Homo-oligomer: A and B are copies of this chain.
């Protein structure tokens, strides 16, 4: 447990959209652009400064997401390193996967970071809080923080921020 805002029955989910990437093909191999790396790093350092370090870091395997997750490790946000999760790729069944994760291990008191894509990530956040898809949005390198108690009703959204909001 990295922070006392996680109580003993719920966990926190830090949803992080990948940073700005280069254009090109194939989509899965598009790297972050130099400007994207720079801004994403600044966001991640700010999250670390805010005390939002995580116990587990799970990322879409697509290059731009994996690089974002690697920057999170480099920023000190995820001392345990990163794990790739196919369910966080575009079109993946992220909600079912997350529910399975919660059923298979005790997440209580933990904070998990999930690095992925739009509209999947904001759709996951919306589903967790009981709202329709499209009722919130995540900018590139933007974040949402939710408190979630698996099996105990809707999650609660605590933060939703753009890079512009996070950085001075």
Contact = CB atoms under 8 A, between A and B. Distances in A.
Interface of A: 50, 126, 129-132, 134-137, 154-162, 164-166, 168
Given A130-B135, A137-B156, 5 more contacts: A129-B131, A131-B154, A157-B160, A159-B165, A161-B161
Nearest to A147: B137
B168 A154 contact: no
Copies in the complex: 2
A155 B6 CA distance: 29
B134 A154 contact: yes
B154 A135 contact: yes
Contact of A155 (B135, B156, B160, B164): B135
A113 to B, nearest CB: 16
22 contacts: A50-B165, A126-B131, A129-B131, A129-B135, A130-B131, A130-B132, A130-B135, A131-B131, A131-B135, A131-B154, A135-B154, A135-B155, A136-B158, A137-B157, A157-B157, A158-B160, A158-B162, A159-B160, A159-B162, A159-B165, A161-B165, A165-B166
